[in-house]
Amino acid sequence: MPEGDTVWRAARQLDRALSGRVLTRTDVRVPAYATWDLAGATVVETVSRGKHLLTRIDADHPWTLHTHLKMEGSWRILEPGQRWPRPAHTARVVLETADALAVGFQLGIVEFLPREKESEVVGHLGPDLLGPDWDPDEAAHRLREQPARRVKEALLDQTRLAGIGNMYADELCFIAGVAPETPVGQVPDLARLVRRAHQMLDLNRHRAVQSTTGDLRRGRTFWVYGRAGRPCRRCGTPIVESVLGEPGRERVTVRCPSCQPIR
């Protein structure tokens, strides 16, 4: 699932391409909205909220197009007439202006809602790591509300803080020197972990390549993520892989057994 910085960049791309422009054609390939035609409406802006995208459109009513990439989704900005980079049957939303075409492929969520009801789909989220409401103290407080919960699961819970996915959760646990299974209440410096989470996403939102090591070279970008069986960059111990999470919400998890011992 895309991380919060990936979604932030998608919002910026949509905002630059569409904001202030009049839609000349729309095609929403979801049964509930198949007959909707927003041609003539004006796109106000696109913002991200955690992993959610909110595209605000002024038509007969102030609408918000709420989309979520889930596991496979993406938005692509093209020129009108340009060949699509993915099969047409995977497109869920097409928004066209005089000089730009935005196509949402394999989007996990597509829905329109009155703008005043945006809180119904994002109001449950915790502080957004890349949002104007970012509050590290509130994020740490929300994590501490469940001291017995495993720290990786807590970091992935978007109601605690919004924007962390599986990759960042594994990397943050490694950098903090704690096993992903460690209860939140036993994490030595939770406030520092929260600050590092913000720092990671904030740096990576401006990069073409995500990196938690600071090294952008191919194969050198992560400490443990995607490196099961390979030597730890710090101590040389082979990285181990397991599955963590409640049934139906399991996540592949990696850690260094020496740098992140289970206590």
Please give the angle made by the CA atoms of 237, 238 and 244, to the nearest 5 degrees.
115
Q: Which residues are catalytic?
A: 2-3, 51, 251
Closest C-alpha to 61, from 121, 118, 120, 116: 116
Strands (E), the chain: 25-28, 42-49, 52-58, 62-68, 74-78, 91-96, 101-105, 109-114, 240-244, 251-255
Assess contact for 179 and 16: CB atoms under 8 A. Answer: no
Angle at 239 between CA 171 and CA 258, to 5 degrees: 90
Of 160, 175, 174, 149, which is closest to residue 244 (Cα–Cα)? 149
Query: 31: buried, middle or exposed (CB in 10 Å: 19+, 13-18, 0-12)?
Result: exposed
- Per this entry, what is the length of the chain? 263
Say how many C-beta atoms besides its own lie within 10 A of residue 79's C-beta: 9
DSSP letters, 183-220, are: BGGG-TTHHHHHHHHHHHHHHHTT-SS--SSS--STT-
Cα distance between residue 160 and residue 51, in whole Å: 13
Q: DSSP letter at 22?
A: B
Tell me the residue type at 52. H
